[in-house]
Chain A
Amino acid sequence: MRASRLLAAAAALSLVLGGTGAGQAKDKDKKADNPAVSFNKNPYPSTYKPYPGQPVLITGATVYDGKGGQIERGQVLLKDGKVAAVAGAMADMAVPANALRIDGTGKYVTPGIIDVHSHLGVYPSPGVQAHSDGNESTDPTTPEVWAEHSVWPHDPGFSRALANGGVTSLQVLPGSANLIGGRSAVLKNVYARTVQGMKFPGAPYGLKMACGENPKRVYGGKGRMPSTRMGNFAVNRMTWIKAQEYRRKRDAGKLESRDLAMETLAGVLDGEIKIQNHCYRADEMALVLDMAREFGYKVSAFHHAVEAYKIGDLLKAGDVCSAVWADWWGFKMESLDAIPENAGILYKAGACVVIHSDDANGIQRLNQEAAKAQGDARRAGIVISDGEVIRWLTLNAAKAIGVDQQTGSLDAGKMGDVVLWNANPLSTYARPEKVWIDGALLYDAQNPKLRPVSDFELGQSGEGDVK
């Protein structure tokens, strides 16, 4: 698996670079001539560039490093857009002369918050029909659609997530009407004129899949398959069989034309695209894990996963993250067994916990969601440190969407995605005071001009208001 991934990655790289040099031309096989194989895998490339930032040294703050650690009276140095160093008070740091020094006494620092499940941009505000771009619900499987082609970069919600939630990166997903809903878009939470200008450089694509009630309701309601949970699985399996066949033909050089849907599914089987699987019930998650084994792919994260607590052992063994709410409950049949201790019991089982929002309001309070889960766990006798809880919104989230090498913790060399909170972020009373993305100060509670205003809001009531 590993070797094939490496090969695939190398192939992808050469294609991205447009690469058939003179030397290679001699050796080029049939594959390179074949448009079904030698296509650009990155046709809408990220044009995001970090904005300029001054070096920053925060001192005296409580630092949650995103990896589960906590440093009292810590120092955090940002330089050249990166985390340069994190250390205790006594450490000797090489601080550039032009560094902005911020006294963080009584304040808290975390890595930028990451939401792995957002529909910002694809279901933007205002939530009018003309903006409803999140679900291509005309076919039960639409692996051919890409969320980035729906993202409206002027959604006012991006600014709320930044200013109130400290969110610096997010995965925008298609909705869950389809069994296979399409590719995700991983974004830096920085407004741009184009979606390409927001795309997280180097982030892998995710593929949204969905279990349970939604697909069978939507398509069953249209008188077509699937109308049952067994129908859900049958359609999924038939689709994966096709994808396997497509991939075999591809590898044998026998493809004659491109197939957008199959390219995405083959990308999953190649290990390049991460499965993000909406699934509520434990029994269905267990079936999905077997289906993934059957076809040779991996589920990166179950989303919502309200019954994950029933199968923490299986999820741990499968190395699957569960992206959960703290305590959403009871809004549909498959959410009836949700419990507020879900995250805590999963954590105790040693499984990967991520707190997600799936909501333009919830994304503004992921830190509070984590605090609720921590409190409910504590009352159930499961004591989890603040640092470990912060990991649920940072490094674990980064891992679930495949950007943990670039962001999600305060390791030196990682992106300078950092939030300075005016109190412990696990308190309801805390708010982001400053947010840096790639070392650029892009929100400052004390500077109204560093409060982004979307195009939509210009000239309307409340333009530039504190939100």
Chain B
Amino acid sequence: MSALRLTLAALLASAAAPAFADDFAVTNATLAIGDGSAPIQNGTVVVRAGKVVAAGAGVAVPAGVRVIDAQGQWVTPGLVVAVTDLGLRDVEAVDDSNDTEADKSPFSAALDIAAAINPDDLPIQVARAGGVTRSAVAPLDTSGIFAGQGAVIDLGTDPDAVTAARAFQYVELGETGAQKAGGGRVAVQAALRNAFAEARELARRGGGQGADPRVQDAAPERPGDALLNRFDAAALVPVVTGKQPLYAHVERAADIRMALGLKREFPALKLVLVGATEGWMAAKELAAAGVPVLATPLNDLPDRFEQIGATQSNVGRMAAAGVKVSLGAFFDQPRYAPQYAGNLVALAKLPGASGLTWGQALASITSGPAEALGMGDKFGSLKAGRAGDVVIWDGDPLEASSGVVRVFIDGVEQSLSNHQTRLRDRYKVPVEGALPKAYEW
């Protein structure tokens, strides 16, 4: 893990200090730390120089620090949603605005989405207004099984969105991968092993090194029968040497076991499993392997044959078995994360079902994904030393009817205004006044 942290630190695109980080304390809060613990009454969180310095009950507010009285409202860490397409599109179905597809590119593993992230895009603004402060962004659709290198971003209004570029590689190992690889899972397995073998070969020859392994002066020669282009092979060197985590999308239990088996063959792999609809059927193996899982939260339909065993109790059962499971990869709006987490709390009361405690549920959308990203010491909870990502809510954040009141990222208060709020304000009274609506702004 520490190697990973070092790598990530080295990869920090621009860890610019927040422009207007303000020292502040939120007092009188119903405070949830995000580490799995239950919320506490009358809590205080203190943020200085963009970082949390203390949070809990009976925390003293240092002199000279601005005090925000929450008046009993709920305070949580900012939400962390792993595997989204935030920053990659404005309108999904408008291809010109959508950078989530690169299936006509000759590259796959080499693709680095950090350069495509647009911190001004509308979904980032809307997700921010929903309390989402960090995300792991992954490319989705390439010509191969590798979907390229994802990034970790913050959702602040400043132009520096990327916290960590090339933070992980993403691979499709199930039905989707089978289509990409040539029509079946056997093709996936061959494509994967060949890719890893070529990357190892390249590494042995001294290739794939440096901050961006794709771009290397005096790059070594490669065998004439190499299938991967140089860029893709070089991008996989950090994966096979364990310097960059590999996010593997798998759904069915057999594919989960197959993915875990890769660790025996390639011991350096740092695996994170994504999706894992049938994770409950392989929960013991997942727990024993200690592999983090970013599970799609409420799949309960056999939408694909690889999801026949789908049940909303999946996450609860994995958690009960000791799997490091968090929520992610729902490819809906990231602001739905609290609703999904709240549903898992509801399941805990349902006879025969498995869910999460409230504290676990909040952790599954805050500290849990941060830890899966290897960045649990940087953000995702209100423990001392974490980023000053703080959200104030007008009710229990896991209740669908609750909403966000204020959002801080790295200690900087964020604007919650966006296209939707502007429309709301214009059309609260739908009929025109003295002038057309276009003059009301």
Contacts and interface: CB of A to CB of B under 8 A. Distances in A.
Contacts of B309: 460-462, 465
A156 B301 contact: yes
Q: Interface residues of A: mostly helix, strand, loop or mixed?
A: loop
A431 B312 CA distance: 13
A274 interface: no
A461 B351 contact: no
Given A125-B302, A428-B398, A445-B350, A331 B93 contact: yes
B401 A375 contact: yes
Interface stretch (B60-68, B211-219, B381-389, B424-432): B424-432
A372 B335 CA distance: 12
A369 B308 CA distance: 26
Task: Please classify the interface of chain B as helix (H, G, I), strand (E, B), loop, or mixed, using the class held by over half of its residues.
Answer: loop
Nearest to B340: A428
A282 B339 CA distance: 29
A371 interface: yes
Given A329-B333, A462-B311, A310 B346 contact: no
B91 A330 contact: yes
Interface string A328-353: 01111101111111000100010000
Contacts of B269: none
A28 to B, nearest CB: 52
A125 B281 CA distance: 20
Given A160-B300, A341-B424, A466-B350, A428 B339 contact: yes
Given A310-B430, A327-B333, A431 B92 contact: no
A379 interface: yes
A345 B431 CA distance: 12
B420 interface: yes
Nearest to B394: A379
Contact of B310 (A345, A380, A462): A462
A291 interface: no
B186 to A, nearest CB: 20
A374 B424 contact: no
B399 interface: yes
A332 B430 contact: no
B91 A371 contact: no
Range, interface on chain B: 35 or more
B436 interface: no
Interface string B57-99: 0000000000000000000000000000000001111100000
Interface in B81-121: 90-94
Interface in A354-370: 360-361, 364-365, 368-369
Interface in B130-158: none
A331 B92 contact: yes
Interface string A426-467: 111111000000000000011010000000110011100111
Contact of A465 (B298, B303, B311, B427): B311
A368 B309 CA distance: 25
Given A374-B401, A428-B345, A462-B309, A333 B394 contact: no
Contacts of A300: none
Contacts of B402: 375
A333 B302 contact: no
Interface in A301-342: 309-313, 327, 329-333, 335-341
Nearest to A467: B300
A126 interface: yes
Contacts, number: 161
B327 interface: no
A311 to B, nearest CB: 6
Interface centre among A156, A360, A460, A465 (most CB of B within 10 A): A465
Interface in A24-57: none
A176 interface: no
Contact of B305 (A126, A312, A327, A379): A126
A313 B91 contact: no
A380 B301 contact: no
B313 to A, nearest CB: 6
A157 interface: yes
Contact of B401 (A157, A345, A378, A465): A378
Contacts of B349: 422, 429, 431
B430 A330 contact: no
A461 B401 contact: no
A126 B308 CA distance: 8
Contacts of A364: 300
Contact of A461 (B281, B395, B403): B281
A450 to B, nearest CB: 11
A466 B301 CA distance: 12
B92 A332 contact: yes
A313 B437 CA distance: 15
A127 interface: yes
B353 interface: yes
Interface string B336-349: 00010011011101
Contacts of A381: 428
A349 B430 CA distance: 8
Which of A164, A338, A448 has the largest count of B CB atoms less than 10 A from its CB? A164
A467 B398 contact: no
B122 interface: yes
A127 B419 CA distance: 34
Given A213-B93, A365-B343, 9 more contacts: A125-B303, A332-B91, A339-B423, A339-B427, A372-B339, A378-B401, A456-B302, A465-B309, A465-B313
Please give me the 6 A-B residue pairs with the lowest Cβ-Cβ distance, nearest first. Answer: A375-B401, A428-B342, A461-B309, A332-B93, A462-B309, A371-B400
23 contacts: A126-B304, A156-B301, A160-B301, A311-B430, A330-B122, A332-B91, A336-B91, A336-B419, A339-B423, A340-B424, A361-B300, A368-B339, A369-B400, A422-B350, A426-B401, A428-B339, A428-B342, A429-B346, A429-B399, A461-B309, A465-B309, A465-B311, A466-B353
Interface of B: 90-94, 122-123, 126, 253, 278, 281, 298, 300-305, 307-313, 333, 339, 342-343, 345-347, 349-353, 394-395, 398-403, 419-421, 423-424, 427-428, 430-431
